[in-house]
């Protein structure tokens, strides 16, 4: 019996040594967290909680200014790409009926809005290649041409243009997602 | 004449941001970048770590998780890793929505289920999990943690492994008493594959390493210079294979590793070369 137990232990030790080979299941966490916040550029302690455009004329354009744009607090410990995408989710019915969701496009149209970003210093150039894509994914275009380095907090300015025609008079909320991708 | 109710041309549209005060302006998710090696093929497996979403607000938040291929959000990602063939293989134990109570975190274990095929051994895949809070507001912060997945090594697969070139095994271990090893490179295309091979260690500058030294097998510059490859330029005929011999004259006293970088194919690929003094 002792021989059997010793033999079993020897087999177990061999197995343990063998298991400590390069092909062991193992995990390496390179970056513990991804962490970004959207803040008011003028008062970085405050969240960027509202860009209230109010009532807008058809095709009206509004730009974020030098003092009221977005500061992205970058708490990531790795260079990141910042990307955006936008869409309008289904809005609740209003007195005018069920609203038709506005779609993001390269140029405004009926129920099609247009949002675009630029970055760095104000006034920055709103390049047409930086129109917010409208899919459920951010797409390949990044906000900054190079990855955002650790400790750098980029500033983003948005421009928004109301559709040239609307099917309803309901209030609309456009959603812009700012995503950090290592 | 047809009339639609409330369809008079309107002078004004509204772009009011009604719910912005409830929007999510910050997001913190763990892990950020993670590498997992030795993932079993053909077995539904827990990867032994959770995806955690930290809710630092006073509201309950729902986080939507979507697994995406790198090519869906990047033109170029980490060298050595191809996009995962099927994003449904990687998933969260608790589904693709996580609910986090105020000032707490939501977490769910990450699992993977790779189909049982020799094709999927020896693979290095990259995949993102896009995490988006589901609060209605105009601006929302989101993040996409990166997962680098390496499947179990299989030295002699019955069919060529996926990838151009297919590699088997994708990792080898040299020892004091086992100084040579062979690796098969497969060309599964219909044209000649010309490859350049070199020993390699990634840039270890913080945050920029494209491939990680997993476990306790540290990258070692001396070992990188101390082992040799039988061929540094390889031409593989269509649908054929070649054997590569790797040997070492250098014997480190502690566990270490270096890489063989393979260039010339559509994506850069790597072979991990480990040294174990025991």
Show Cβ contacts of residue B74 under 8 Å, excluding neighbours closer than 6 positions. A81, A140, A181
Give the residue from B119, B151, B183 where a domain finishes. Answer: B151
Predicted pLDDT of residue B256: 94
Quote the pLDDT of residue A102: 86
Domain map (residue ranges) of chain A? 31-181
pTM for the model: 0.86
**Residues B189 and B103 reside in one and the same domain:** no
Question: What are A63-110's pLDDT values in tens digits?
Answer: 898 888 999 999 999 999 998 888 777 777 888 888 888 888 888 888
| Domain co-membership, B132 together with B44 | yes
Residue B157 lies in a domain: no
Give the pLDDT of residue A15: 37
pLDDT tens string B234-259 = 999 999 999 999 999 999 999 999 99
Provide, as residue numbers in chain B, all residues whose Cβ is less than 8 Å from the Cβ of A21. Answer: 173, 276
What pLDDT is recorded for position B23?
Answer: 59
Specify the 3-state DSSP secondary structure of B15: coil
Domain that holds residue B139: 20-151
Complex ipTM value? 0.86
Average pLDDT on A12-23 reads 44
Same domain? B143 vs B183:
no
| CATH at residue B115 | 2.60.40.10
Question: What parts of chain B have a pLDDT lower than 70?
Answer: 1-24, 135-137, 204-209
Distance from the first to the final alpha carbon of chain B: 90
Across the interface, whether the CB atoms of A27 and B19 are under 8 A apart is answered no
| Residue B52 at interface with chain A, using a CB cutoff of 8 Å | no
B125/B179 same-domain check: no
**Torsions phi, psi for A86 (to 5 deg):** -140, 155
> Would you say residue B272 lies in a domain?
yes
Count of domains observed in chain B = 2
User: Out of B10, B136, B213, whose CB is closest to A89?
Assistant: B136
pLDDT at A21: 60
Helix (H) or strand (E) holding A5: helix A2-19
Residues in chain B: 278
> How many angstroms separate the CA of residue A1 from the nearest CA in chain B?
31
Rounded Cα–Cα distance for residues B276 and B252 (Å): 8
Using CB atoms within 10 A of its CB, is residue A52 exposed (0-12), middle (13-18) or buried (19+)? exposed
Omega of the bond leading into B165 within 30 degrees of 0 (cis) = yes
Inter-chain touch A30–B217, beta carbons under 8 Å: no
3-state SS assignment for residue B278: coil
Same domain, B120 and B40: yes
Structurally, what CATH architecture does the domain formed by A31-181 represent? Sandwich (2.60)
What's the mean pLDDT when you consider all of chain A?
80
């Amino acid at each position: 019996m002792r021989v059997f137990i010793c033999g079993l232990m020897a087999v177990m030790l061999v197995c343990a040594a063998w298991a400590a080979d390069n092909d062991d299941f193992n995990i390496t966490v390179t970056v513990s967290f991804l962490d970004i916040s959207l803040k008011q550029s003028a008062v970085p302690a405050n969240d960027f909680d509202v860009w209230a455009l109010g009532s807008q004329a058809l095709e009206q354009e509004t730009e974020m200014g030098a003092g009221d744009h977005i500061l992205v607090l970058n708490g990531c410990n790795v260079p990141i790409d910042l990307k955006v995408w936008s869409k309008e989710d289904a809005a609740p019915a209003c007195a005018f009926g069920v609203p038709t969701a506005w779609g993001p496009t390269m140029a405004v149209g009926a129920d099609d809005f247009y949002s675009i970003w630029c970055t760095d210093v104000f006034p920055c150039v709103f390049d047409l290649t930086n129109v917010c894509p409208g899919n459920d994914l951010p797409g390949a275009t990044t906000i900054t041409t190079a990855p955002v380095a650790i400790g750098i907090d980029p500033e983003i300015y948005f421009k928004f243009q109301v559709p040239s025609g609307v099917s309803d008079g309901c209030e609309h909320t456009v959603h812009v997602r700012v995503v950090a991708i290592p | 004449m047809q009339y639609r109710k409330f369809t008079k041309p309107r002078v004004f549209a509204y772009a009011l941001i009604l719910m912005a005060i409830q929007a999510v302006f910050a997001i913190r998710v763990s892990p950020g970048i993670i590498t997992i090696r030795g993932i079993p093929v053909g077995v539904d497996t827990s990867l032994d770590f959770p995806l955690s979403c930290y809710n630092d607000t006073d509201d309950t938040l729902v986080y939507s998780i979507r697994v995406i291929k790198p090519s869906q959000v990047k033109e170029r990602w980490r060298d050595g890793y191809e996009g995962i063939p099927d994003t449904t293989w990687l998933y969260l134990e608790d589904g693709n929505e996580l609910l986090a109570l105020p000032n707490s975190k939501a977490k769910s274990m990450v699992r993977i289920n790779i189909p049982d095929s020799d094709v999927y051994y020896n693979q290095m895949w990259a995949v993102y999990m896009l995490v988006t809070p589901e609060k209605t507001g105009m601006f929302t912060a989101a993040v996409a943690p990166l997962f680098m997945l390496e499947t179990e090594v299989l030295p002699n697969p019955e069919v060529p492994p996926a990838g151009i070139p297919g590699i088997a095994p994708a990792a080898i271990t040299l020892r004091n008493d086992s100084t040579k090893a062979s690796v098969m490179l497969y060309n599964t295309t219909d044209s000649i594959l010309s490859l350049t091979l070199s020993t390699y260690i990634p840039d270890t500058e913080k945050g920029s390493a494209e491939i990680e030294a997993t476990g306790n097998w540290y990258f070692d510059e001396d070992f990188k210079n101390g082992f040799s490859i039988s061929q540094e330029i390889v031409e593989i005929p269509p649908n054929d294979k070649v054997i590569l011999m790797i040997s070492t004259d250098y014997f480190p006293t502690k566990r270490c590793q270096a890489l063989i970088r393979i260039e010339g194919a559509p994506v850069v690929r790597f072979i991990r070369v480990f040294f174990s003094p025991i």
